[in-house]
Copies of this chain bind each other. A is one copy, B any other.
Amino acid sequence: MVEKLDPAARAELLASLSGWTEVEGRDAIEKTFRFTDFKAAFGFMTRVAIAADGQDHHPEWSNVYNRVTILLTTHDADGLSARDAKLARVIEEAAAGSGLST
C-alpha cells in the first residue's frame, strides 16, 4: 500500500507545480498542455510514457491534436501520493523540452 500525501505535502506539491489543478470529485491533479502541433504533442507523450513506465506509475491522459490532458492519482493509495509528485515533475521537464505552444 502506498501512502497518500498528508495535507502539508499536498499543499507543498500544488504550490510547487504551475498549472496543475485539483480534480472535482477525485483525489487527483490535472493539467492540459498545448504544443505547436501533433508531432510535438506525441513526442511529449512518448517521453512521458517511457518515464512513467520506468517508474511503474502511469497517467490517465487524453490527446486531441496538439493538446494533452494528464490526470495523476495513485490507485493503490486511493489518492495523491509521492509517486504523483515525482511523475508530475518529470512531466514538467518533458513538456519544457517538447515544443510547447506559446
Stretch touching chain B among A25-33, A61-69, A81-89: A61-69
Contact A42 B53, CB 8 Å, known A58-B65, A60-B64, A65-B58: yes
Query: A42, B38: Cβ atoms under 8 Å?
Result: no
Instruction: List A residues 31-75 near B (Cβ within 8 Å).
Output: 38-39, 42, 45-46, 49, 52-53, 58, 60-65
Q: Are B63 and A38 in contact (CB under 8 A)?
A: no
Kindly report how many copies of this chain are found in the complex they form together: 2
Closest beta carbon of chain B to A22's beta carbon, Å: 19
* Bound Cα distance A63, B52 (Å): 13
Give 16 A-B contacts (CB < 8 Å), ordered by A residue.
A38-B49, A38-B53, A38-B58, A39-B53, A42-B46, A42-B53, A45-B45, A46-B46, A58-B64, A58-B65, A60-B62, A60-B64, A61-B62, A61-B63, A62-B62, A62-B63
